[in-house]
Amino acid sequence: MANATDHLWMHFTRMASYSAGEVPTIVRGEGAYVWDAQGRRYLDGLAGLFVVNAGHGRTELAEAAAKQASELAYFPLWSYAHPKAIELAERIAALTPGDLNRIFFTTGGSEAVEAAWKLARAYFKRTGKPNKYKVISRYIAYHGTSMGALSITGLPGIKSDFEPLVPGAIKVPNTNFYRAPEHGDDPEAFGRWAADEIGRAIEREGPDTVAAVFLEPVQNSGGCFPPPPGYFERVREICDAYDVLLVSDEVICSWGRLGEYFGAVRYGYQPDIITTAKGITSGYAPLGAMIASDRLMEPFLTETGMFAHGVTFGGHPVSCAVALANLEVFAREDLVGHVRANEDAFRATLEKLYDLPIVGDVRGDGYFYGIELVKDKTTRETFTEAESERLLRGFLSTALFQAGLYCRADDRGDPVIQLAPPLIAEQQHFDEIEQILRTVLTEAWTKL
């Protein structure tokens, strides 16, 4: 095999870091495990990239793809339809909360986020509020990399090379309760404060200029920030008061990740738009979707009206066929129920790690957890940039992988280890994750 670094330009990768070593090359997957080119086995603690929800090696999903490709490999959704897109849209509409009945397919998450911002702008232009174009999102949140989605993303480190970005993307505090700047002893008051920050941002910008708020049910980047109690209820009130659309970015948080088909259902709020991707096909083919309420489609249903947006491969027949087969697996095996039944055990197993001096906070819901690492548990002191570099990039990522656990050590906020195993995972996998983390984190502590 050619060397991976000769021609392949990897995503978000320090290519130079591989000059001395070989790029880990994954060749096969089965259940919760993957194997590399040398035949070593790894527990897939991140479901690929929050994607392989049904687990690896499902031949029925591969067969659904082959069958569709033989029958009709491709036809666009531009003024034409194909049966699998129609069927999948109907199936999704039946699973979404409330009147989120209009499914606009994309090929992935960034495109779904991009489409949602465009829809919000176009909707208000067509309903007599043409100045509403801005979007609000949270610090450290990741919403994708295309120029619109990147503008919504709240991570300066991945934006600065590409500026100037799309104007009108405003940032507000996230719900990192462990590092709450206010109300650190009262989650409810903290949630109220964080939600009200959105209201204050809308006031500052001018309610006539704000189109939408983009929030993940559980914010991934920064290491799993679940919503404090009452947060989304208050956000919904604020959005209604100012006529601002609430977009639930569920690229990670849908399809069982949080023990429901959609994160909004888990936390009991009604968005105007859901953006999704990743687990919709469990990764057996690429697909994303922007799911809008009936109300948002209405202005486009006039005789000459249309949402002037599209992508060639959005709603690709093979991807739609795979998504339908994936949802069959979900229903047959009750994967969503499996997450609900096992999430407490997953949490309890990870919480055993609290006896390590480096483990500051274990947070998340469902099968979606972040473990924040600290230098001092009592003061919650975090690492300096140099320490973080040495610890996360220099040691942890490689050491965890070598110990047989694929997961993510991330320092886009404070240093965290992120875990999101396939939804088929059970106690034996939780134990394996805990044991590998325990060994490697214990060693990491000695290296500080």
Strands 134-138, 169-172: pairing kind = parallel
In the chain, the largest separation of any two C-alpha atoms, in whole Å, equals 69
Q: Which stretch binds ligand PLP (CB under 6 A): 59-67, 142-150, 198-206, 378-386?
A: 142-150
Q: Which of 113, 119, 400, 425 binds ligand PLP (CB under 6 A)?
A: 113
197-216 positions binding ligand PLP, by CB under 6 A:
216
Q: How far is the CB of 108 from ligand PLP (least distance, A)?
A: 3
48 binds ligand PLP (CB under 6 A): no
Number of residues that bind ligand PLP (CB under 6 A): 13
Stretch that binds ligand PLP, among 196-204, 246-254, 291-299, 328-336 (CB under 6 A): 246-254
The DSSP annotation for 97-145 comes to STT--EEEEESSHHHHHHHHHHHHHHHHHHTT-TT--EEEEETT----S
Site string for ligand PLP, 248-267 (x = CB under 6 A): -x-xx---------------
Select from 200, 199, 190 the least CA-distant residue to 228: 190
Residue number with CB closer to ligand PLP (249 or 432): 249
CA 231 – CA 273 distance, rounded (Å): 18
Binding span for ligand PLP by CB under 6 A among 82-90, 138-146, 333-341, 381-389: 138-146
Q: How far is CA 267 from CA 71, 165, 297, 397, 437, in A?
A: 40, 32, 25, 32, 29
Q: Give whole-number Cα distances, 71 to 63, 65, 88, in Å.
A: 12, 10, 17
Per rule CB under 6 A, is residue 368 in the interface with ligand PLP? no
Task: Return all residues near 201 (Cβ < 8 A) that are at least 6 apart.
Answer: 136, 170, 172, 210
The residue of the chain with the least Cβ separation from ligand PLP equals 109
Per-position x/- string for 14-43, each x denoting binding to ligand PLP as judged by CB under 6 A, each - no binding: ------------------------------
Q: Which two tokens stand for residue 273?
A: 């738009």
Q: Which two tokens stand for residue 73?
A: 């490999």
Return the SS3 of 430.
helix
Residue 410 CB, nearest approach to ligand PLP (Å): 12
- Of 109, 263, 364, 366, the residue at the interface with ligand PLP (CB under 6 A) is 109
- Report DSSP state, residue 302: S
Q: How far is the CB of 278 from ligand PLP (least distance, A)?
A: 6
Structure tokens at 140: 């450290």
Stretch near ligand PLP under the rule CB under 6 A, chosen from 29-37, 67-75, 104-112, 388-396:
104-112
CB of 321 within 8 A of CB of 68? yes
Question: Judged by CB under 6 A, which of 277, 322, 336, 419 binds ligand PLP?
Answer: 277
Phi-psi label, residue 249: left if phi above 0, alpha if psi -120 to 50, beta otherwise: beta
Out of 53, 96, 175, 220, name the contact with ligand PLP by CB under 6 A.
220
Angle at 20 between CA 14 and CA 26, to 5 degrees: 70
315 is a contact residue toward ligand PLP (CB under 6 A)? no
Tokens of 53: 């929800």
Alpha-carbon gap, residue 274 to 366, rounded angstroms: 19
Closest approach of Cβ 143 to ligand PLP, in Å? 5
Pick 152 or 436: Cβ nearer ligand PLP = 152
Task: Pick between residue 121 and residue 278 the one whose CB is nearest to ligand PLP.
Answer: 278
Helix (H) or strand (E) holding 234: helix 231-242
For ligand PLP, the closer of residues 280 and 325 by Cβ is 280
For ligand PLP, the closer CB: 144 or 314 = 144
> Which residue lies nearer to ligand PLP by CB, 33 or 117?
117
Residues sharing a CB contact under 8 Å with residue 116, sequence separation 6 or more, in sequence order: 212, 214, 247, 249, 273, 275, 290, 292
Choosing from 56, 82, 121, 143, the residue that interacts with ligand PLP (CB under 6 A) is 143
Contacting ligand PLP (CB under 6 A), which of 117, 124, 142, 284?
142
114 binds ligand PLP (CB under 6 A): no
Cβ distance to ligand PLP smaller for residue 108 or 154: 108
Q: Which residues bind ligand PLP (CB under 6 A)?
A: 108-110, 113, 142-144, 216, 220, 249, 251-252, 277
